[in-house]
Structure 1
Amino acid sequence: MEVREVVLAPGGAYELRLTGRGARGYVWTWRVTGDADAVAVAEDPAEPAAAAEPPGAPLPGETVERVYLVRGRVAGRARIRFAQVRPPYPDEAAYDEFVLDVTVR
């Protein structure tokens, strides 16, 4: 599990790219702890359309990069835990995890 620290100003943004395994049934989920109001997290919906690759479903076993935007909202410290899971198997351990510690000041 990788842990990364970033500092943002209110209104500032950080782009996080994570390798996805959607063709294998995995999705990235996230949970914010600490000062949850300090940040907002969203998957970048514009990223797939901007890719140079032709549209279409990934081939079986192919990895797909996912882009998440983390925005600073108000001063505080938040920890965002991303976990790559398969929703049909909620008791299964995460395939991969990534932690982003964010300080907004």
Structure 2
Amino acid sequence: MEVREVTLAPGEPYELRLTGRGARGYVWTWRVSGDADAVSVAEGPPAGAAEPALPGATVERVYAVSGRAAGRARIRFAQVRPPYPDEAPYDEFVLDVTVSGAGG
């Protein structure tokens, strides 16, 4: 599991790219802990979405993380297969975000 730390100002975006395994039934989910109101997370279109992916190919997923208010949040991404909720994640990624009080 990789852990990355970033510092953002309120309103500042951060783009995170994670390798997807959708052809194998895996999706990335995320959970925010700590100061959950300090950040927002949104999934964007897959990287290279203009080009069709080959069958069985991995597709890079893009997530936009933005600072909202001063605080510290931990975002835990887990790659899981929804039909099997008791199965351990295939992969995990943790993003520790510090949002500064005013403009970085």
User: TM-score, with normalisation over the residues of structure 2?
Assistant: 0.90
Residues 32-76 of structure 1, C-alpha deviation per residue, up to 9 Å, x if partnerless? 00000000000013x55xx275336x412x211000000000000
TM-score by length of 1: 0.89
Question: What CA distance in whole angstroms lies between the structure 2 residues aligned with 1:52 and 1:9?
Answer: 29
Counterparts of 1:1-105 in structure 2, within 5 Å, are 1-45=1-45, 47=46, 51=48, 54-55=51-52, 58-60=54-56, 62-105=57-100
Length, aligned pairs only: 100
Counterpart AA for 1:25: G
What is the identity percentage for the equivalent residue pairs of Structure 1 and Structure 2? 79
CA distance in 1, matches of 2:22, 2:36: 27
* 3-state SS of 1:87 partner: coil
**Secondary structure of the corresponding residue to residue 37 of structure 2:** helix
| Structure 1: tracts of 5 or more residues without a match | none
